[in-house]
Amino acid sequence: MSATTHKIYITVLSLIVLLTLGYLINLGLNYYSTPLHERFYHPDHTNLKPSGILGHGLGIVGSLAMIVGVSSYMARKRFRSWSRLGKLKHWLEFHIFLCTLGPIMVLFHTSFKFGGIVSVSFWSMVAVFASGIIGRFIYIQIPRTIEGRALSLGEIRDLKSNLSQMLKEEYNLDKASYRSIVATTVTSEAESSEKPLSGFLGQYLRDIKSKSMVRQILKKSQLSAKERKSVVRIVSDELSLSRRIGRLQTMQNLFKYWHVAHLPFALVMLIIMVIHVVVTIVFGYRWIF
């Protein structure tokens, strides 16, 4: 999948989620904002109630979306025979798409009324969704290959360019300028190691300040606008890698602990979901069948 195709892929998935959310809000806002004891008399009650044609369908489709999203991604990770079926990061993105779309549908299936054992499944789903956002943040902090494999510390260090040499040889900067630019990237890794989490925002703000300083230095040079932009991009990459190297071990440990929290909530959600479906069928609730 090329970079352009990947952007289209992500855009389409995002639009599906946003359009689905917008459609459901527009369709049922009046019904969902009606007090529970008055909904029976609402003209959309037959359609939008949890056992209604649309309400029930949302529960079925949303549940299937989550099951497919979880099972397909786990299969891609665990089965060697699936290793050639696309890149792992694309499967992760599809997993995130289905496990975002599914909970939205299930939320509207409940018509915002939670009770009994199903509420445990619902709040477990909310916990899975929230922890998934946190897990995604941790995941992108760990540098990976294009296939999605996490890079080792040595491999990450190999990605760092010799900034000083590049500024001398390729951009012909004077000593004072390139020393000032190189100095902006020296402390980033050490600061990230000392304060991997608490200093995250401070490091981000310092990097913005460093890039601003680099731009000011380059304005005094003889470089063209295109060359100045290229240097700033290289410095930005160096700063990003330095931050990630400094936080690597912390993020790897957090990712392990994250699995311990994420998976149990997912299992509780799925088990109670299955119980809910079985009870629904036993008591004779049918959809369009």
Cα(181)–Cα(131) distance, rounded to whole angstroms?
39
| pLDDT of amino acid 269 | 81
pLDDT band at 289 (very low <50, low <70, confident <90, very high): low
Query: Which pair of tokens denotes residue 176?
Result: 């004072």
What the block records as the tokens of 88 is 């792992």
Assess whether pLDDT exceeds 70 at residue 16: yes
How buried is residue 276: exposed, middle or buried, by Cβ count under 10 Å (0-12/13-18/19+)?
middle
Please give the residue that has the higher pLDDT: either 140 or 91.
91
pLDDT of 284 higher than 70: yes
User: What pLDDT does 213 receive?
Assistant: 75
pLDDT bracket for residue 260 (50, 70, 90): confident
pLDDT at 17 (0 to 100): 93
Residue 268: name the closest of 135, 136, 122 by CA: 122
How large is the average pLDDT for residues 72-86?
80
In whole angstroms, give the CA distance from residue 74 to residue 284: 33
Strand partners, 179: none
Lowest-confidence segment of 40-54, 83-97, 118-132, 177-191 by average pLDDT: 177-191
> 175-188, pLDDT tens digit by residue?
666 667 666 666 55
- Stated length of the chain: 289
CA 242, chain centre distance (Å): 22
Three-state DSSP class for residue 150 = strand
| Partners of 144 in beta bridges | 150
